[in-house]
Amino acid sequence: MRSRQRMFAAVMRLLLKCLRLGRRRRFKLVRQVEQLWHYGHLCLRSLLYNSFTNGDVVLDSLFEPVYWLVDHVTRWFGVVFVALVIGLTSSIVAIVYICLLPLILQTYTPGWICWHLAYGHWNLIMIVFHYYMAITTSPGHPPQAKNDLTGVSICRKCIAPKPARTHHCSICNRCVLKMDHHCPWLNNCVGHYNHRYFFSFCLFMTMGCIYCSISGWEMFRDAYAAIEKMKLLEKERLQVAANQTYYQTPPPTFSFRQRAFHKSVVYLWVLCSSVALALGALTLWHAVLITRGETSIERHINRKERQRLQKKGKVFRNPYSYGSWDNWKVFLGVDVPRHWLTRVLLPSPHLPHGTGLSWDLPPCVMEQSTPLLAI
């Protein structure tokens, strides 16, 4: 009996000793892991430490893959968007020539026929010309060498001189002179040399869509009523045909050509009205920016600068604004009164004022009435 007790006590002491030893080893392993973690954390912070790093920088770094994906998708889909613009515009022109023009020649008076032919073809020429020029004209890029450029900064992405009003386009991966934005519908940046073409295209496209919507309103109503009548007659025809034999089925009430005509008119009116609303709002927004002498990017920059100076009791003056009327003259390149006809109402490939590298007072602006800099 005593031998069993001694054996049991020895086993228990051995078990407790093993547990104590395992606990020490476990605590030692945990301490080693903690030391390795603190050492790795210290090394990482020493390699990545930057006194300028803040929450915005970290957030931008996290979203950098998203920006990269958006930039590359926009770059490749630009060709699709251009093809879509050409395809939709061509379909509208084809419907007008095939369906509406014969009807206009048969029913309208000679005066209205001349008006529609003159205005419609003038508007179409202006749309095609400005869209082609906006696509093919380079927006302008600063030279890679500094040369004689004064007062320029350095683009942190291009590592090249960056003149005033120049911004880097992440989609084109280049700096653009007087950059407004990158337009996927042009597959091109809107900058110093093609800004006028872009705005003129938007303006004349909006005018053309409004013209088609107003002129085709009565035709749209008749076509829509005819389509509803088609659906009703088709339903009645199917109900009658269900109770008769194949040879007694009545012929269709509307021919294929009539169906195609009515559906084309409805398609034309709906598409033109939708584009007129959407593109008209965009055109109005850019007209406001041009009146203020700003681009889309400068709009945000000037607003922040205006708020910053307002807190200091100062007034911000846009250094690139010469007054509402003079801003339009500079933008459109109107130097003399006849240019309103030759350069605005007719296709004109004239260049804008300046080179986009420096912004001297244009010759069409005679006198600056307000100070250019903040006071």
Which alpha helices (H) appear in the chain, and where do they start and end? 2-48, 55-95, 101-107, 110-136, 195-215, 217-241, 256-292, 296-311, 324-332, 339
The share of the chain scoring above pLDDT 70, in percent, equals 75
- Read off the pTM: 0.77
Within 10 angstroms of residue 15's Cβ, the number of other Cβ atoms is 10
pLDDT one-digit tens code per residue, 164-180: 899 998 888 889 999 99
Within 10 angstroms of residue 233's Cβ, the number of other Cβ atoms is 14
pLDDT band at 374 (very low <50, low <70, confident <90, very high): very low
Greater pLDDT, 359 or 19 = 359
Tell me the DSSP string of 38-100. HHHHHHHHHHH--TT--HHHHHHHHHHHHHHHHHHHHHHHHHHHHHHHHHHHHHHHHHIIIII
Query: Residue 176, SS3?
Result: strand
Tell me whether residue 158 is one of the annotated catalytic residues. no
Query: Residue 152, SS3?
Result: coil
Greater pLDDT, 293 or 4 = 293
Give mean pLDDT, residues 334-340.
92
Query: Residue 28, SS3?
Result: helix
CA distance 116 to 107: 13
CA distance 248 to 231: 21
For residue 10, the model assigns a pLDDT of 67
- Of 183, 202, 212, 272, the active-site residue reads 183
The share of the chain scoring above pLDDT 90, in percent, equals 42
Greater pLDDT, 195 or 26 = 195
pLDDT one-digit tens code per residue, 96-136: 999 888 888 888 899 999 999 999 999 999 999 999 999 99
Which residue shows structure tokens 């934005």? 181
Domain boundaries, the chain: 61-215+253-360
pLDDT one-digit tens code per residue, 134-152: 999 999 998 876 665 665 7
Cα dihedral sign, 187-330-346-99? positive
Greater pLDDT, 56 or 347 = 347
Greater pLDDT, 55 or 313 = 313
**For the chain, what is the mean pLDDT?**
83
Give mean pLDDT, residues 7-15.
66
Range in 27-41, 309-323, 343-357, 358-372 with the lowest mean pLDDT: 358-372
What one-character DSSP code corresponds to residue 110? H
Tell me the DSSP string of 271-315. HHHHHHHHHHHHHHHHHHHHHHT--HHHHHHHHHHHHHHHHTT--
For residue 183, the model assigns a pLDDT of 92
Q: Would the pLDDT of 8 be above 80?
A: no
Query: What dihedral angle (degrees, nearest 10) is formed by the CA atoms of 36, 37, 39, 41?
Result: 160
CA distance 220 to 269: 7
Q: Would the pLDDT of 372 be above 50?
A: no
Q: Would the pLDDT of 311 be above 60?
A: yes
